Structure formats: structure tokens, C-alpha cells
Amino acid sequence: MERKTAPVNLAIEKNYDSEMCGSIPLHLVNLIQPHGMLLVLDKQELRILQASANTEVYLQIAADELLSKPFSSLIPEHQFNEVVSKLKSQNKQDKIPFTLSLPAGDTVKTFTAIILQHPDYILVELEESRTIAQESFLSLYQHLKYITSLLKQPDTISEIAQLAVEELKKFSGFDKVMVYQFDPNWNGMVIAQAREADMDDYMDLRFPASDVPKQARDLYFKNPYRLIPTRSYTPVRLVPVLNPVTQKFTDLSDCSLRSVANVHLEYLANMRVDASMSLPLIIDNKLWGLIACHHKTPKYLSYEMRSAMELLSDILAAQLQARQKEEAMAHRVKLRSLHASLLEQIYSSPNFAEGLLEGETTILELFSLSGAAVFYEGNTWVAGETPSPQEMKELVSWLRRNNATGLYVTDTLPQAYPRGKDFQTKASGLMAIPINKEQGEFILGFRPEVQQTIKWGGDPNNAVQMEPDGKSYHPRNSFAIYKEVVKNTSLPWMPDDAAAAETLRHAVLEKLIKDRY
């Protein structure tokens, strides 16, 4: 089947993951976004150790005046007792939601609170409750049930992702919603998109790993979402600057109010985006991708809506995982069927090489090869398109010297074996199954070069632009399509191919032993 775009797992030679971006301590910023406030409590008496400088906006009490006050003095006794009870019973890593009433001058305000225990202190995130009729529990539940039922219908990962972004756009009201999948080197590719007509089209574009560096990727395991209601906010500092217990900056890894690095706000501005929200797609305890939501103007989502989006991201991840497993199982079933036919053919043939390369089922069909060769006891058998006999002989010598791990599989042979560039059109992909490596006896399977054009969202080579001081840097200011042709690369191997090759190797060795004895 012809591919309209290069596959996500296509091997890309250059590493675009920035060590510099990935080393920035995003969790030790001592700043929060102003759509909420933060209190830091000691663990013994629940007294206030630190407070964000915007408490006066919400409570009409300056942050300095709150320091050392017991948290119990701010909320009703029954609410405080509930907090204490849940802190004792909950896992220390759980985020515990509450609805709390706090005095604000002559009135009382209702806040949504998230409380999280750290080893040395307790974080209390507070956002003023904003009641919206259409965000009632019943309304959200009905939407969730509806979207969940829809996500069960598509047959492929791309169809599931596309349906998800269309429904999430309607549900959340964002101007653009995308599903962004990571490749093995942490570059991301937009595999689904729903957008307003005046929003930039990023479908099928790739973005270098430095756009979501390791530090940011790791934080997605601690935060179920990242909301930036507006990139134009003024950060709010914590008072005092240092945590009195640790004498360090308070770790805000788990804090959803945590302020955002200036370079990311600049990145959003260059994208002509004012508000954003991102949610992780975690499959098999690995960050598979992100749901990225963009809005042209400021946009705040209530805690209820964010929780609903969090649940939908989990549901989407589960559906994607289920389809991945189904696709892998279908491939595995196909391999087993072909493998069984091939084994029968090998055992019934007088020569195992002829059994592999000739007949109704061949090794070419089993592994989608364009060519194959068998080197055994000084003889060579070939089928399909292969390098020349001399080129294969030199390749076998290289495998004997350099391959110490047995089975060798690559979709970028010319990168590992420079002389492979002489025959990359026939063998950019290689599967080498050793029979007797010391004697240079191998089964070789080849896949041809498939030149792929990758469309990047901006030039990945200029993704990070340094200032002359060598310390400050900026993101690229253009996301115009930058095309890169990937050469010397075959279509990627499937995860089950290596296991099937090992099984085939054992079968061949059994056949040889049987014939010999």
C-alpha cells in the first residue's frame, strides 16, 4: 500500500533531542501562573510555610501575613477535619481534590483545591470555583459516555486519533486539537488534527525532540495535563523565596499551576497561539504521544472540564493501545501462518536453503523482503534482488567481525556499514540470521531503500537559536514546512520480526542437526 507520508517510526539519522533544553530544571522555578494560588504547609502542624504573592488578589490577605498561620484558621472546622483525614489515608503520591471555603475580606469564596503530600511539606493548589451550567456532572458524564462509545468504533490508530481530535475540539471549545505521536528518537508527528480554518495546518508535520525535551516529557508522568490559559500572564513568585524546611526552591513538579519556561511562551507566540493545554498519552507506562490543544485567544478551563479531558485522554490511550495490540496480533498470526508453511517446506526439502528460498512460501514473503541469500558450507543461494556476490561476501566478513549479539536487524545498514552505500538501493535494510557466525554462515534478508520525504514544522536544524552569550536561547520563529529527504533507509521492521527470525534460526539448526545425524 502506498504511503502518503513517511511512517512515524522511520529511522532519522540526526538526534534532535537537545541536552541543553532537557537539563533546565523546570520544576524549580519558584513561580506559578496567576489563575490560582499556592500554599506550602509543614507536615506536622499544617502551618503555612510559603504562599504565592497573589493571595491578596483572592483572599485580601498579603502573603507575608499568611506565613506561620495554621491552615485550620482559613477554612471551616469540618473541612479541615476532612483534609486531615484524607491526608492520613491517601497514598502520598495521590492528588486529593477538595472544595474549600476561604475568607476574602467580608465574604467567603469557594475554591477547588488540590492537595499533594511531599516528603518534607504539603502543597495546596487553590483555584476559585467557576460554576458553568453546561459543565454539570450530568452534562459532562453524558459527553464522556458519548465520546467513549464513538472511540470504540474505528478500526485503525489513525482513525481513532482523528475521531478523538474532532470530538475533543467540540467538547473543549479549543480552536485546534491535535494528536502528536513520538518516534523512537522523541521527534513528534501530528497524526490527527481538527482546527478552525484560520489556524495553521500541522497535519503530518514532524517536530524535533527539542520541542518537548526530556525534562518536560518526564513531568507528564507527574501531571495529567498542562494548562496555560494565556501566554501573556505575569508569573507569581512564592514568598519567601526558599522553602523554610528544605532551604531550597520548592519542588513544583506535581503542581499544575507551575509557571512555564519563557522559551515555551515564546514558542506559543511564534505559533500565534495564546492559550494551550496538553495531555499525555501513556501506553505501557511509556509516553506514546500528546493531545495538544491550541486557542487563538485566552481560554480557561474549569477543574471539572480539565478532569473530563484527563479522563478522555486516558480512554483514548486505552483505545490506541488496544488497536496497537490488535495490529500486532494480526501481524503475529500472519507470521505464524507463514512460518508454519515455511517450516514444513524446509523439513520436506532435501536442502534447507532451497526450502527457504523456493516453493509456495519463502523467507521473502515471511519478512517482506526484496531479496535473500544463504551462505552455508562454502555455497551461496540467492532469491530476489540482492547485492553482488562480492558485496555480500564482504558484508558477511563485516558481520563476523562486528556482530557479537547473534541476530542483526537494521533498517539503516549504510549508517552502520559505510560500504553498504554502494548497494543501498537493494539493501538499506538487513536481517542477518547466523547459522555459524565463526564460519561466515548466514541467512541474509534484504529490504530496498525507500527514500522518504519528511515534512518538518520549521527547520529542525535551527530549532534552538542561541544568544551570543551562549546561555540564553529562543525557539525557531518559523513553522513553515521544511522538507528533508531520508535516504539509505528501508521500511522499518515490525517488533515481532526479530522473534520470528530467532524461531526460524532454531528450526534451521534443528534441520541441520537432524540431517547430519
Please tell me the predicted confidence (pLDDT) of residue 178.
97
Report percent pLDDT > 90 for the chain. Answer: 59
Of the two residues 180 and 139, the one the predictor is more confident about is 180
pLDDT of residue 451: 85
Average pLDDT over residues 252-263: 91
> Which of 236, 242, 246, 241 lies closest to 127, judged by CA?
236
- Cis geometry, peptide bond prior to residue 76 (ω within 30 degrees of 0): no
Question: Cβ distance 131 to 138 under 8 Å?
Answer: no
Pick the closest to residue 42 from 326, 302, 306, 246 (CA basis).
246
Is the per-residue pLDDT at 477 higher than 80? no
- First and final C-alpha spacing in the chain: 46
Selected residue with higher pLDDT from 159 and 14:
159
Q: Which residue has the higher pLDDT, 474 or 245?
A: 245
* Res 470 pLDDT > 60: no
Give me the chain's average pLDDT, please. Answer: 89
Grid cell at residue 505? 534460526
Residue 173, Ramachandran bin (φ over 0: left; ψ between -120 and 50: alpha; else beta): left
Looking at residue 320, its pLDDT comes to 95
**pLDDT tens-digit series, residues 190-216:** 999 999 999 999 999 999 998 898 888
Residue 142 has which C-alpha cell? 453524558
Is residue 134 scored above 60 in pLDDT? no
User: Residue 180 in contact with residue 190, Cβ under 8 Å?
Assistant: yes
Q: Are 430 and 410 in contact (CB under 8 A)?
A: yes
Q: What is the pLDDT of residue 404?
A: 60
Are the beta carbons of 18 and 221 closer than 8 angstroms? no
Q: Which domains does the chain have, with CATH numbers?
A: 19-325 (3.30.450.40), 349-450+490-516 (3.30.450.270)
Measured CA to CA in angstroms, residue 216 lies from 118, 151, 226, 236, 258 at distances of 20, 28, 10, 21, 12
pTM score, whole prediction: 0.85
Give the C-alpha distances (Å, rounded to integers) separating 423 from 40, 371, 411, 432.
64, 12, 14, 16
Q: Per-residue pLDDT for 289 more than 60?
A: yes
Residue 450, pLDDT above cutoff 70 = yes
The CA distance from 478 to 8, in Å, is 22
Using CA atoms, how far apart are residues 363 and 431, in angstroms rounded to an integer? 11
Q: What number is the average pLDDT over the span 238-261?
A: 93
Report, as an integer, the average pLDDT of 218-237. 93
For residues 422 and 425, what is the distance between their CA atoms, to the nearest angstrom? Answer: 8
d(CA 358, CA 348): 12
pLDDT at 1: 34
Confidence band of 331 (pLDDT split at 50, 70, 90) = confident
pLDDT of amino acid 467: 64
Query: Which strand (E) or helix (H) includes residue 514?
Result: helix 495-516
The pLDDT confidence band at residue 335, using thresholds 50, 70 and 90, is confident
